[in-house]
Amino acid sequence: MSAAVEGHIVIIGAGQAGTQTAEALRSGGYTGAITMLGDEPHGPYHRPPLSKAWLAGEMGEAQLVMRAPEMLAKKGITLRTGVTVEAIDRAAQKVKLAGGEALAYTGLVLATGSTPRSLPLPGIGAPNVLPLRSKDDASAIAARLTTCAERSLPVLVIGGGFIGLEVAATARKKGLAVTVLEAAPRLLGRVLAPLLSDWYAALHREHGVNLVLDARIASIETDAAGEAIAVLMTDGSRHPCGLVVLGVGVAANDQLAAAAGLACDRGIVVDDCTRTADPLIVAAGDCTARQLADGSLLRLESVQNATEQGKSAAAALLGQPRPFTATPWFWSDQYDRKLQMAGLSGGADAWAVRGDMGGDMAAGAAFSIYHFRAGKLIAVDSVNSAKDHLQARKLLDAGVSPTPEQAADGGFDLGTLIPKG
Amino acid sequence: MPNITFIEANGQSTTLDVPEGWSLMQAATANGVEGILGECGGSCACATCHCYVDDLMAKVLAAPAQGELDMLENVADERRPNSRLACQIKASAAMDGATVRLPATQE
């Protein structure tokens, strides 16, 4: 499309990707109107602390604010919260809101995020069975954690992924009894190498988490008031609880896009520059599935993806395509361990460990696992080793690969492999 | 609340009353100080809240932890002896009147 220097760009979604897009439009020289529509009652806020510092009570609610609404106003970004978008009329270039209002657009950004998945279990609808995605979800969980502490009730976490494990670590920090039920034979099975899954299992067990792998849940038992009081397993065992946290993944919010006839495949299909097939519509963040050169689709749920795609979305609408092809990265804080992941480790056939995995979980344990496929470095997972992580991103961005022997040799400076300049 | 001044590379100055316990990154990004990005939300994971602290601030601050030092090795602009990450600086009364200067680029 031609550079839309004037007009009205509508952004559906007021999270990380939506906010980034709005600000990047302004810094990219766009002087027209921008309206950002959020379905939550809150302005843009930081999500990563919700399962960590904020849930632990280490930061106040105001500290979650990503941009004060008046700061957005100063940039000429109109923020409307509590707004439900019902449909996109591409032919008329309009967005239809609940209540009948229609907003005309000259450019449209879909930054609709994702929704936590549920499970088809009896009792799943109990008020103390909660996902953790939004600030309101986190507030509800925080309140329930307090109740659990007061009544000495255990916390049950369904799902041994990042959200579940971060909540488990936070609840343990608060002294609560915690059980994690994971259906797979290992934690974080889709993202971590087996030896790192085992390491995380040991870490959580060492911190007192009751970890159940290969968990088969039959139902959630509720009391007369409808509250969940236990999780029942198919083997007849029973885990009492005062709170169940559901951490079984998210699904992209692509319904609006699909209904408007845009290609969707477990996310809104976009190219490297966040473009859909409609030249007026881009999509950014968790709601997207990026089509790679080989035709496969890449779904990323991360802050980096939201910010980088947000920048690309703004650039695409301004007619200055900015591909986002940097190495994906992600992090997770559990107890005093920071896991930082660079690259995508799927399909790895060899691993090398650098540093000390500390068999006794010693506080000093700092190490990285280098993933190789057909002899080429494809990903690095670092625990308390920010230096390895940052170096890994440079190595992967440059497409240079150490040998597994070099990666495992702490005396070999991997930095020497990074091309200068 | 300590009064802290942020000076951007272009000279733009913003003085904020920062609640004690807030990180300087949080106060700056929420209040429109553009020279700080804070993309990771304050987890010492992105190095986009690089700042240069003045002597007053430096006197009050504890030495950076290893994680912060590692991130500082990879900031986008020049790293100086007084370089810090704003997300790792929690405001305290002793910082009242301090100034932090911001680099020209964070990415």
Q: Which tens digits make up the pLDDT trace of A250-272?
A: 999 999 999 999 999 999 999 99
Does A337 touch chain B if contact means CB atoms closer than 8 Å?
no
CA distance A342 to A280: 32
Residue of A269, A308, A320, A285 lying closest to A11 (CA atoms): A285
A63 touches B at CB < 8 Å: yes
| Closest alpha carbon to B101 in B27, B36, B20 | B36
Which 3 state secondary structure label does DSSP give A51?
A: helix
CB A154, CB A178: distance < 8 Å: yes
Among candidate residues A60, A35, A101, A18, the one with its CA nearest the CA of residue A288: A18
Structure-token pair, residue A387:
């230096």
Enumerate the β-bridge partners of residue A110.
A12, A283
pLDDT confidence of residue B70 = 87
Say what the pLDDT of residue A2 is.
Answer: 43
Tokens of B32: 């429109």
Q: Confidence band (pLDDT; 50, 70, 90) for A421?
A: low
Answer whether A338 sits within 8 Å of B44, measured CB to CB: yes
Give the pLDDT confidence of A170-219 residue by residue, as tens digits.
999 999 999 999 999 999 998 898 999 999 999 999 999 999 999 999 99
User: A48 to chain B: nearest residue by CA?
Assistant: B41
**pLDDT band (50, 70, 90) for residue A387:** confident
Place of tokens 């272009």: B10
What 3-state DSSP class applies to A238? strand
- Across residues A368-389, what is the average pLDDT? 94
At A10, the amino acid letter reads V
Alpha-carbon span A211 to A218, nearest angstrom:
17
User: What's the count of helices (H) and strands (E) in chain B, helices before strands?
Assistant: 3, 5
Instruction: Classify strands A366-373 and A350-356 as parallel, antiparallel or unpaired.
Output: antiparallel
A56 touches B at CB < 8 Å? no
- Tens digits of residue pLDDT in B48-69: 999 999 999 999 999 999 889 9
pLDDT (tens digit per residue) in A91-136: 999 999 999 999 999 999 999 999 999 999 999 999 999 999 999 9
Please report, rounded to a whole number, the percentage of residues in chain B having pLDDT higher than 70.
100
CA B17 to chain centre: 14
> Which runs of consecutive H residues, i.e. helices, occur in A59-134?
69-74
Looking at residue A315, its pLDDT comes to 98
Tell whether A58 lies on the interface with B, counting CB pairs under 8 A.
no
* Cα distance between residue A121 and residue A125, in whole Å: 9
Does the structure show a pLDDT above 50 at A392?
yes
Flag if B74 and A307 touch (Cβ within 8 Å): no
Q: What is the structure's pLDDT at A360?
A: 56
Q: Is the Cβ pair A390, B30 closer than 8 Å?
A: no
Q: Residue B33's closest chain A neighbor by CA?
A: A71
How do residues A355-374 score in pLDDT, each as one tens digit?
988 755 556 688 999 999 99
Residue B5 phi/psi, 5° resolution? Answer: -105, 130
Classified as helix, coil or strand, A171 is: helix
Task: Establish if A142 touches chain B: CB-CB under 8 angstroms.
Answer: no
Which segments in chain B show pLDDT lower than 70? none
Q: Is B10 exposed, middle or buried (0-12, 13-18, 19+ CB in 10 A)?
A: exposed
* Number of Cβ atoms within 10 Å of the Cβ of B58: 13
Chain A residues whose CB is inside 8 A of the B106 CB are none
- DSSP E strands, B1-107: 3-7, 13-17, 50-53, 83-85, 99-101
Which residues share a beta bridge with A104? A94
Share of chain A above pLDDT 70, in %: 97
Place of tokens 């990285």: A368
Please check the confidence at residue A57 and state whether its pLDDT lies above 70.
yes
Contact A25/A17 with Cβ under 8 angstroms?
Answer: no
Look at A390 and B41 and tell me if their CB atoms are within 8 Å. Answer: no
Residue of chain A with shortest Cα separation from B27: A63
Contact B32 A67 (CB under 8 A): yes
Distance from the Cα of residue A331 to its chain's centroid: 10
The DSSP call for residue B74 is: T
Q: What is the Cα–Cα distance from A165 to A52, expressed in whole angstroms?
A: 10
**Quick one: closest CA in A to B24, which residue?**
A63
In degrees, rounded to 5, the angle at the alpha carbon of residue A190 between the alpha carbons of residues A185 and A191 is 120
Q: Residue A1: pLDDT band by 50, 70, 90 thresholds?
A: very low
Cross-chain Cβ contact B43/A331 below 8 Å: yes
Say if the Cβ atoms of A49 and B31 lie within 8 Å: no
Find the helix packing angle between A303-317 and A16-27, rounded to 10°: 40
Residue type, B21: G
Task: Report the pLDDT averaged over residues A383-388.
Answer: 90
Task: With CA atoms as reference, report the closest residue to A113 among A132, A139, A133.
Answer: A133
Q: Which residues contact A70 (CB under 8 A, 6 or more apart)?
A: none
What are the DSSP E strand ranges found in A223-344?
A: 228-233, 238-240, 243-246, 250-252, 268-270, 281-283, 288-291, 297-298, 329-334, 337-343
Q: Which chain B residues are Cβ-neighbours of A331 within 8 angstroms? A: 40, 43, 45
A71 neighbourhood in chain B, CB within 8 Å: 30-32
H-only helix segments in B10-104: 24-30, 55-60, 66-72
Q: Residues of chain A with pLDDT > 90: what percent?
A: 88
pTM, rounded to two decimals: 0.94
The answer to whether the beta carbons of residues A392 and A343 sit under 8 Å apart is yes
Residues of B in contact with A68 (CB under 8 A): 30-32
Mean per-residue pLDDT, A36-58: 94
8 Å CB contact between A322 and A311: yes
Residue type, A120: P
What chain B holds in terms of domains, given with CATH numbers, is: 3-101 (3.10.20.30)
